[in-house]
Chain A
Amino acid sequence: DIQMTQSPATLSASVGDTVNITCRASQSIGRWLAWYQQKPGKPPKAVIFDASSLKSGVPSRFSGRGSGTEFTLIISSLQPDDFATYYCQQYDSDSYTFGQGTSLEI
Protein backbone atom coordinates (compact mmCIF):
# COMPACT_ATOMS: atom_id res chain seq x y z
CA ASP A 1 0.00 0.00 0.00
CA ILE A 2 1.01 3.61 -0.56
CA GLN A 3 2.03 5.29 2.69
CA MET A 4 1.14 8.93 3.31
CA THR A 5 3.21 10.96 5.76
CA GLN A 6 1.96 14.32 6.96
CA SER A 7 3.93 17.00 8.73
CA PRO A 8 3.81 18.58 11.15
CA ALA A 9 1.56 16.56 13.45
CA THR A 10 0.63 19.73 15.31
CA LEU A 11 0.83 23.30 14.11
CA SER A 12 0.30 26.36 16.28
CA ALA A 13 -0.72 29.54 14.52
CA SER A 14 -2.67 32.76 14.96
CA VAL A 15 -5.54 34.39 13.13
CA GLY A 16 -4.17 36.09 10.04
CA ASP A 17 -1.18 33.77 9.66
CA THR A 18 -0.39 31.70 6.56
CA VAL A 19 0.36 28.03 7.21
CA ASN A 20 1.64 25.13 5.13
CA ILE A 21 0.87 21.46 5.77
CA THR A 22 2.91 18.87 3.90
CA CYS A 23 1.96 15.38 2.76
CA ARG A 24 4.48 12.96 1.25
CA ALA A 25 3.61 9.77 -0.60
CA SER A 26 5.79 6.65 -0.49
CA GLN A 27 5.58 6.47 -4.30
CA SER A 28 4.39 8.74 -7.06
CA ILE A 29 0.65 9.34 -7.08
CA GLY A 30 0.50 11.93 -9.86
CA ARG A 31 -1.99 14.53 -8.74
CA TRP A 32 -4.42 12.11 -7.13
CA LEU A 33 -4.55 13.75 -3.72
CA ALA A 34 -7.33 15.28 -1.64
CA TRP A 35 -7.28 17.33 1.55
CA TYR A 36 -9.96 17.14 4.23
CA GLN A 37 -10.83 19.34 7.20
CA GLN A 38 -12.29 17.74 10.33
CA LYS A 39 -13.58 19.47 13.43
CA PRO A 40 -14.16 17.66 16.76
CA GLY A 41 -17.25 15.47 16.72
CA LYS A 42 -17.90 16.12 13.02
CA PRO A 43 -17.24 14.18 9.82
CA PRO A 44 -14.45 15.27 7.47
CA LYS A 45 -15.15 17.75 4.68
CA ALA A 46 -13.16 17.89 1.46
CA VAL A 47 -11.42 21.18 0.74
CA ILE A 48 -9.04 20.30 -2.12
CA PHE A 49 -9.10 17.50 -4.72
CA ASP A 50 -6.77 16.58 -7.59
CA ALA A 51 -3.96 18.19 -5.58
CA SER A 52 -4.93 21.79 -6.35
CA SER A 53 -8.62 22.02 -7.25
CA LEU A 54 -10.71 23.92 -4.74
CA LYS A 55 -13.96 22.21 -3.85
CA SER A 56 -16.99 24.36 -4.53
CA GLY A 57 -17.94 26.52 -1.57
CA VAL A 58 -14.53 26.37 0.10
CA PRO A 59 -12.93 29.80 0.73
CA SER A 60 -10.20 30.84 -1.69
CA ARG A 61 -7.71 31.22 1.18
CA PHE A 62 -7.30 27.43 0.86
CA SER A 63 -4.99 26.23 -1.89
CA GLY A 64 -3.06 23.10 -2.75
CA ARG A 65 0.04 22.39 -4.76
CA GLY A 66 2.31 19.53 -5.64
CA SER A 67 2.51 16.38 -7.70
CA GLY A 68 4.29 13.06 -7.63
CA THR A 69 5.27 12.45 -4.02
CA GLU A 70 5.15 15.85 -2.31
CA PHE A 71 2.07 17.96 -1.69
CA THR A 72 1.22 21.06 0.31
CA LEU A 73 -1.99 22.50 1.68
CA ILE A 74 -1.70 26.25 2.14
CA ILE A 75 -4.12 28.25 4.23
CA SER A 76 -3.69 32.00 3.92
CA SER A 77 -4.98 34.61 6.32
CA LEU A 78 -6.16 32.07 8.89
CA GLN A 79 -9.66 32.56 10.23
CA PRO A 80 -11.02 31.23 13.55
CA ASP A 81 -13.12 28.68 11.64
CA ASP A 82 -9.98 27.14 10.11
CA PHE A 83 -8.66 25.68 13.35
CA ALA A 84 -9.23 21.96 12.88
CA THR A 85 -7.45 18.75 11.93
CA TYR A 86 -6.45 18.28 8.30
CA TYR A 87 -5.90 14.97 6.50
CA CYS A 88 -4.52 14.15 3.09
CA GLN A 89 -5.77 11.14 1.11
CA GLN A 90 -4.26 9.49 -1.95
CA TYR A 91 -6.47 7.95 -4.62
CA ASP A 92 -3.89 6.75 -7.10
CA SER A 93 -5.03 3.20 -6.46
CA ASP A 94 -8.24 1.57 -5.26
CA SER A 95 -6.58 0.93 -1.89
CA TYR A 96 -6.89 4.38 -0.38
CA THR A 97 -4.70 5.72 2.37
CA PHE A 98 -4.82 8.82 4.55
CA GLY A 99 -2.12 10.79 6.24
CA GLN A 100 -2.07 10.67 10.03
CA GLY A 101 -3.47 14.20 10.32
CA THR A 102 -2.26 17.67 11.25
CA SER A 103 -3.91 19.45 14.15
CA LEU A 104 -4.00 23.18 13.50
CA GLU A 105 -4.23 24.95 16.85
CA ILE A 106 -4.36 28.51 18.03
Chain B
Amino acid sequence: EVQLLESGGGLVQPGGSLRLSCAASGFTFRSYVMAWVRQAPGKGLEWVSTITSGIGNTYYRDSVKGRFTIFRDNSKSTLYMEMNNLRVEDTAIYYCAKAPVATGATWFDPWGQGTLVTVSS
Protein backbone atom coordinates (compact mmCIF):
# COMPACT_ATOMS: atom_id res chain seq x y z
CA GLU B 1 0.00 0.00 0.00
CA VAL B 2 1.32 3.42 -0.95
CA GLN B 3 1.80 5.68 2.06
CA LEU B 4 2.90 9.30 2.20
CA LEU B 5 3.60 10.89 5.58
CA GLU B 6 4.29 14.60 5.77
CA SER B 7 6.01 16.37 8.64
CA GLY B 8 7.75 19.63 9.41
CA GLY B 9 4.84 22.04 9.51
CA GLY B 10 4.32 24.55 12.28
CA LEU B 11 4.01 28.18 13.26
CA VAL B 12 6.62 30.54 11.81
CA GLN B 13 6.95 34.30 11.63
CA PRO B 14 6.86 36.15 8.33
CA GLY B 15 10.30 35.98 6.74
CA GLY B 16 11.08 32.72 8.49
CA SER B 17 11.93 29.29 7.11
CA LEU B 18 10.66 25.72 7.34
CA ARG B 19 11.57 22.41 5.78
CA LEU B 20 8.76 19.99 5.01
CA SER B 21 9.38 16.27 4.59
CA CYS B 22 7.30 13.51 3.02
CA ALA B 23 8.31 9.95 3.83
CA ALA B 24 7.10 7.57 1.14
CA SER B 25 6.61 3.81 1.26
CA GLY B 26 4.90 1.04 -0.66
CA PHE B 27 6.30 1.91 -4.09
CA THR B 28 9.57 2.52 -5.93
CA PHE B 29 9.93 6.16 -4.92
CA ARG B 30 12.74 7.05 -7.34
CA SER B 31 10.59 6.12 -10.35
CA TYR B 32 7.79 8.66 -9.96
CA VAL B 33 7.03 12.34 -10.21
CA MET B 34 6.24 13.83 -6.81
CA ALA B 35 4.55 17.11 -5.92
CA TRP B 36 3.52 19.51 -3.20
CA VAL B 37 0.00 20.94 -3.32
CA ARG B 38 -1.37 23.32 -0.71
CA GLN B 39 -4.76 24.35 0.58
CA ALA B 40 -5.31 27.52 2.57
CA PRO B 41 -7.87 27.19 5.38
CA GLY B 42 -11.35 26.93 3.88
CA LYS B 43 -10.02 27.44 0.35
CA GLY B 44 -9.32 25.38 -2.75
CA LEU B 45 -6.31 23.43 -3.95
CA GLU B 46 -3.20 25.16 -5.26
CA TRP B 47 -0.29 23.39 -6.94
CA VAL B 48 3.06 24.50 -5.49
CA SER B 49 5.87 22.45 -7.00
CA THR B 50 6.77 19.24 -8.83
CA ILE B 51 9.93 17.18 -9.20
CA THR B 52 10.41 14.48 -11.81
CA SER B 53 12.15 11.16 -11.38
CA GLY B 54 15.68 10.60 -12.68
CA ILE B 55 17.63 13.86 -12.83
CA GLY B 56 14.84 15.56 -10.95
CA ASN B 57 13.63 18.44 -13.08
CA THR B 58 11.76 20.92 -10.91
CA TYR B 59 8.79 23.20 -11.50
CA TYR B 60 7.28 25.92 -9.29
CA ARG B 61 4.30 28.22 -9.25
CA ASP B 62 5.35 31.81 -9.80
CA SER B 63 4.52 33.00 -6.28
CA VAL B 64 7.05 30.64 -4.67
CA LYS B 65 9.88 30.78 -7.22
CA GLY B 66 13.11 31.85 -5.58
CA ARG B 67 11.73 31.14 -2.09
CA PHE B 68 10.82 27.43 -2.14
CA THR B 69 13.04 24.53 -3.22
CA ILE B 70 11.75 21.03 -3.86
CA PHE B 71 14.18 18.14 -3.73
CA ARG B 72 14.20 14.42 -3.14
CA ASP B 73 16.45 11.84 -1.50
CA ASN B 74 15.74 8.62 -3.34
CA SER B 75 17.96 6.64 -0.95
CA LYS B 76 15.60 7.61 1.88
CA SER B 77 12.38 7.60 -0.21
CA THR B 78 11.73 11.11 1.03
CA LEU B 79 10.50 14.27 -0.64
CA TYR B 80 11.34 17.69 0.78
CA MET B 81 10.31 21.30 0.42
CA GLU B 82 12.63 23.98 1.75
CA MET B 83 10.59 27.13 2.32
CA ASN B 84 12.34 30.47 2.90
CA ASN B 85 11.13 34.05 3.30
CA LEU B 86 7.68 32.78 4.21
CA ARG B 87 4.71 35.08 3.80
CA VAL B 88 1.33 35.20 5.53
CA GLU B 89 -0.26 34.04 2.27
CA ASP B 90 1.78 30.81 2.40
CA THR B 91 -0.37 29.67 5.33
CA ALA B 92 -1.95 26.36 4.28
CA ILE B 93 -2.06 22.62 4.66
CA TYR B 94 0.73 21.27 2.46
CA TYR B 95 0.05 17.91 0.85
CA CYS B 96 2.62 15.60 -0.66
CA ALA B 97 1.28 13.74 -3.70
CA LYS B 98 2.49 10.96 -5.97
CA ALA B 99 2.03 10.91 -9.73
CA PRO B 100 1.49 7.73 -11.79
CA VAL B 101 4.35 8.65 -14.16
CA ALA B 102 8.11 9.22 -14.13
CA THR B 103 8.05 12.46 -16.06
CA GLY B 104 5.73 14.81 -17.91
CA ALA B 105 2.59 16.64 -16.87
CA THR B 106 0.30 14.49 -14.77
CA TRP B 107 -2.43 14.02 -12.22
CA PHE B 108 -1.78 12.95 -8.65
CA ASP B 109 -2.87 10.07 -6.45
CA PRO B 110 -2.54 9.25 -3.66
CA TRP B 111 -1.99 12.26 -1.42
CA GLY B 112 -0.63 12.35 2.11
CA GLN B 113 -2.66 13.60 5.08
CA GLY B 114 -0.93 16.98 4.94
CA THR B 115 1.03 19.18 7.32
CA LEU B 116 -0.15 22.63 8.42
CA VAL B 117 2.09 25.64 7.91
CA THR B 118 1.00 28.81 9.67
CA VAL B 119 2.83 32.05 8.93
CA SER B 120 1.93 34.69 11.48
CA SER B 121 3.51 37.24 13.76
Q: Which residues of B contact A96 (CB under 8 A)?
A: 35, 47, 50, 105
* B27, CB-defined interface residue at 8 Å: no
* A83, CB-defined interface residue at 8 Å: no
Which segment, of B12-20, B69-77, B79-87, B109-117, faces chain A?
B109-117
Contact (A99, B44) CB under 8 Å given A43-B112, A94-B59: yes
Contact with A along B44-64 (1 / 0, CB 8 A): 111100100000000101100
Contact B47 A98 (CB under 8 A): yes
* A87, CB-defined interface residue at 8 Å: yes
Contact with B along A52-65 (1 / 0, CB 8 A): 00010000000000
* B106, CB-defined interface residue at 8 Å: yes
Contact A45 B109 (CB under 8 A): yes
What's the least CB distance linking B58 to chain A, in Å? 10
Contact (A45, B107) CB under 8 Å given A98-B45, A99-B44: no
Give residues 74-96 of A contacting B (CB, 8 Å): 87, 89, 91-96
Range for the number of chain A residues in contact with chain B: 20 to 34
Contact B105 A94 (CB under 8 A): yes
- How far is B110's CA from A93's CA once the two chains are assembled, in angstroms? 20
- How far is B35's CA from A100's CA once the two chains are assembled, in angstroms? 19
Contact (A93, B44) CB under 8 Å given A43-B114, A45-B111: no
Q: Which residues of B contact A16 (CB under 8 A)?
A: none
Contact B111 A97 (CB under 8 A): no
Contact (A55, B109) CB under 8 Å given A43-B95, A94-B59: yes
Q: Which residues of A contact B114 (CB under 8 A)?
A: 43
Q: Taking A49-B100, A91-B107, A98-B45 as given, write out 6 further A-B residue pairs in contact, using a Cβ cutoff of 8 Å, ordered by the A residue number.
A: A38-B45, A43-B110, A87-B44, A89-B45, A89-B107, A91-B105
